[in-house]
Amino acid sequence: MNASTTASTTALAVGSEEPLSPGYDAATKDDAEFNELFQHGFTTIDDVQMHYVVGGDGPQVMVLLHGWPQSWYEYRQVLPSLLPGRTVIAIDLPGLGDSTGNPSSRAKAVLAAYVHKLLVHLGHLENVRIVAHDFGVSVAYPLAAQYREQIAGLFLMDYGLTGKNLKFAAIESMFWHFSFNKQRPLAEELVTGRVETFLTHFFQGMRTAGENISADELAEFVRLYSRPQVLHAGFELYRTEIQDEADNTKFQETPLTIPVRMITQAGLADMVLPPLQDAAPHATSADVPGAGHFLLHEAPDRVLAEINAFYPNPTA
């Protein structure tokens, strides 16, 4: 990642509102490469000011959705390589990152509606290619299921899609943080003031091999999840999983026909494929040998190669 020690050159995207989130450019204001290629933007959708990062003006529109406990910034390392021939938009999910406000519900079908409306506001009504990781996947699926004319493909990373045949209870028993994060308000009370300790432990525990997130990335995620609203919103993602499971089961009655692919950490591709095919019968999957959950940090070159193979660049 290229960084500069010069004064901030951060600019807001055309039509952007003034940000409600202080320090939104803490990780990018001195990042010369970022400021040359990307801009921050803010748009109020219903009761939430949505934050996004946008770059490029190519004909292929690619939207990036992040997981927990991260933000759009988990894509920083690969963003420039995605640009040629594309318009790339990395979104902070409603209430997370530098988005500000409380969505009407944390159910992923509702969060998907916010993303849909933001993309409509930005003029992207069709042929949108989605890239999503972790909880971003849980938003990407209802986005595609509810707004079929808008979404042209789903490239997904390391997430088990609940619904007809995969139940949240089965996943919850596999990972300690699923049960912990559901505890309201205990999780917030225990982690407040200890965000760095909590996130450091979490990231280290989820890494299988390869590189862990960098100190700069950790600092950015600590900044964001130290915002009380964001800490609460992140835990709420887990507290609506039963509703998400029910919503997905309903959506799966009308299978997706768009291309869908999932890549996973080592050893999980075969496990996540059957429930994914409940949603998209022709979906495919592959794992990344030696990698853990945070694929964008541990295997960025493989992720880029997979994205470009799934969404061929129109200028290549």
Q: Residues 169, 72, 281, 306: is their CA dihedral positive or negative?
A: negative
DSSP code of residue 299: -
Low pLDDT (below 70) residues in the chain:
1-9, 207-211
What number does CATH give the domain 32-310?
Answer: 3.40.50.1820
Q: Please list, in sequence order, all residues whose beta carbon lies within 8 angstroms of the beta carbon of residue 173, skipping any fewer than 6 positions away.
A: none
Q: Is 191 exposed, middle or buried (0-12, 13-18, 19+ CB in 10 A)?
A: buried
pLDDT at 211: 53
Alpha helix (H) ranges present in the chain? 32-37, 79-82, 108-121, 135-146, 168-172, 176-181, 186-191, 195-206, 215-225, 228-239, 241-251, 269-279, 295-298, 300-310
Amino acid, res. 262? M
pLDDT at 6: 37
Q: Determine contact, residues 203/294, Cβ cutoff 8 Å.
A: yes
* pLDDT tens digits along 192-204: 999 999 999 999 8
Decide: helix, strand or coil at residue 49: strand
pLDDT at 169: 84
178 φ/ψ angles, rounded to the nearest 5 degrees = -60, -45
**Is the backbone peptide bond immediately before 69 cis, with ω within 30 degrees of 0?**
yes
Using alpha carbons, select from 28, 96, 88 the residue that is nearest to residue 55. 88
pLDDT at 8: 43
Run of H or E residues at 131: strand 128-133
Run of H or E residues at 265: strand 260-265
Q: Determine contact, residues 312/84, Cβ cutoff 8 Å.
A: no
CA distance linking residue 23 with residue 200, whole number of Å: 21
Question: How many residues does the structure list for the chain?
Answer: 316
Decide: helix, strand or coil at residue 278: helix
* pLDDT tens digits along 234-250: 999 999 999 999 999 99
CA 27-59-17 angle, 5° bins = 45
CA distance linking residue 72 with residue 220, whole number of Å: 11
Cα of first residue to Cα of last residue in the chain, in angstroms, is 24
User: What are the residue boundaries of the structural domains of the chain, listed by start?
Assistant: 32-310
- Cβ neighbour number for residue 189 with a 10 Å cutoff: 10
Which residues pair with residue 91 across a beta bridge?
Answer: 52, 65
- Cβ neighbour number for residue 205 with a 10 Å cutoff: 12
pLDDT at 235: 97
DSSP code of residue 73: G
Tokens matching residue 166: 């995969």
